[in-house]
Amino acid sequence: MKKKLALKDIAAALKVSEASVSYVLNGKARQYGISVALENKILRFVEKVGYRPNRLAASLRTGKSKTVGMIVEDISDPFFSAIARVVEEHIYKEGYRVIYGSSENSTVIARDLLQTFKNYQVDGYILAPTAGLEDDINQLVKEGYPVVVFDRASPDLQCSKVLVDNFRGSETAVLHLIDNGFRNIAMVTLAAGQDQMNERVNGYHAALQKHGLPPILKEIIYNEDPHKTIQNLKSLLKSKKDIDAIFFATNYLALSGLQALKESGLIITRDIGVAVFDDINNFALFNPAITAVAQPIKEIGLRVTKILLEELQDNHIIDSQNILLKTKLIIRDSSVRLPV
């Protein structure tokens, strides 16, 4: 049987120190002054011989697994997958890998994922937490694990947070609809009671109150079958025929809503206006293109990664950070009211 190469074998073959090889393989060549020429020499040799580092052995030796556990609501959702990609790209440069899990907005699943990550001895956590997970997260912090949450957070969490201004983003979108002449504006949101959704609803109410307009709020059960959501929204449109605009709290609710509008025979801009919280690329391709609140996805991913890496440093003494980022309203055709 062919002997498996170890770090010392690579160092001996190249006549360099084991430390130099380790720094290069962990993406820290620049940090420790390794020249580009030596870095490339080591990487070419490693590729040639097919070396794969033994992460288990390294974790036993250093007490670190060089892995990070990341829990999101749904990794297939464009918002979460885009942030995960940013995190993965930048944390990889520091020698870390990411393990993902989708909570499906279930506290039970989220707790199970946290335990799985602990069993794998991850070094830190990036979480879009479910409701009811506060004690579990605070316990991780007490045990010394770096934890950064994003997208939603309870005030009771004792860790770093990277959030967006959901209230202002929602209020701005609804005020835009009002400025364009819409007066009977419905909002379609989730019945899940998530903090970020509550803030979006609050922003909706605040915009209407500024103009003395009545709210029309429709709550949809999280993870409801899309066909059922479409039927529920068609029933709303049939029972509230005076609705002249709809603000959707998420992009996936909007996709079901747009289908409901089509099946109801309503034409956007002629019969009804539309705005959405959480932009996706496809909204620009619709006809008419869909007005949406864009979240700063790249900045969220970069901030989360930066904070976690700081907290992963040996002997770190860093106070938890609370970052609130701005959204941007991308105005497209769907929120323009055409003259009758």
pLDDT in tens, 156-200: 899 999 999 999 999 999 999 999 999 999 999 999 778 999 999
**Do 27 and 123 sit in the same domain of this protein?**
no
Question: From residue 124, how far is each of 66, 98, 157, 305, 316 by CA, in Å?
Answer: 9, 10, 16, 11, 13
**Do 48 and 153 sit in the same domain of this protein?**
no
Q: What are the E-state strand segments in the chain?
A: 67-72, 97-102, 124-127, 147-150, 160-164, 185-190, 216-220, 245-248, 273-277, 291-294, 322-325, 328-330
**Do 45 and 70 sit in the same domain of this protein?**
no
Reading the block at residue 181, the tokens are 């002449």
> Is residue 60 included in any domain, yes or no?
no
> Is residue 279 included in any domain, yes or no?
yes
CA–centroid distance for 87 within its chain:
10
pLDDT tens, position by position, 301-319: 999 999 999 999 865 666 7
Instruction: Show the DSSP H helices in 54-129 as ranges.
Output: 55-62, 78-92, 107-119
**Final residue of a domain: which of 15, 33, 53?**
53
**DSSP annotation string for 193-239:** --HHHHHHHHHHHHHHHHTTPPPEEEEE-TT--HHHHHHHHHHHHHH
Q: How far apart are CA 239 and CA 233, in angstroms?
A: 10
Q: Which domain holds residue 152?
A: 65-164+297-325
How many Cβ atoms sit within 10 Å of the Cβ of residue 305? 26
Q: How far apart are CA 326 and CA 174, in angstroms?
A: 16
> Is residue 340 included in any domain, yes or no?
no
Q: What is the pLDDT of residue 95?
A: 86
Q: Three-state SS for 98?
A: strand
> Is residue 44 included in any domain, yes or no?
yes
What is the domain count for the chain? 3
Positions of the chain with pLDDT lower than 70, given as ranges: 1-4, 27, 52-63, 314-318, 339-340
**Do 284 and 226 sit in the same domain of this protein?**
yes
Torsion (CA) 307, 310, 311, 313 in degrees, nearest 10: 160
**Do 135 and 194 sit in the same domain of this protein?**
no
**Do 122 and 139 sit in the same domain of this protein?**
yes
Hey, CA dihedral for 86, 302, 126, 51, is it positive or negative?
positive
Q: What is the pLDDT of residue 60?
A: 46
Q: Classify residue 151 as left (phi > 0), alpha (psi -120 to 50) or beta.
A: left
> Is residue 13 included in any domain, yes or no?
yes
Q: What is the pLDDT of residue 54?
A: 60
> Is residue 85 included in any domain, yes or no?
yes
> Is residue 58 included in any domain, yes or no?
no
Reading the block at residue 211, the tokens are 């103009």
> Is residue 59 included in any domain, yes or no?
no
**Do 303 and 157 sit in the same domain of this protein?**
yes
**Do 106 and 18 sit in the same domain of this protein?**
no
**Do 214 and 121 sit in the same domain of this protein?**
no
**Do 199 and 285 sit in the same domain of this protein?**
yes
* CATH code, domain carrying 31: 1.10.260
**Do 288 and 305 sit in the same domain of this protein?**
no
**Do 131 and 203 sit in the same domain of this protein?**
no
Closest CA to 210 of 170, 163, 250, 254: 170
Closest CA to 293 of 174, 115, 130: 174
Beta strands 291-294 and 328-330 are antiparallel
* CATH code, domain carrying 125: 3.40.50.2300
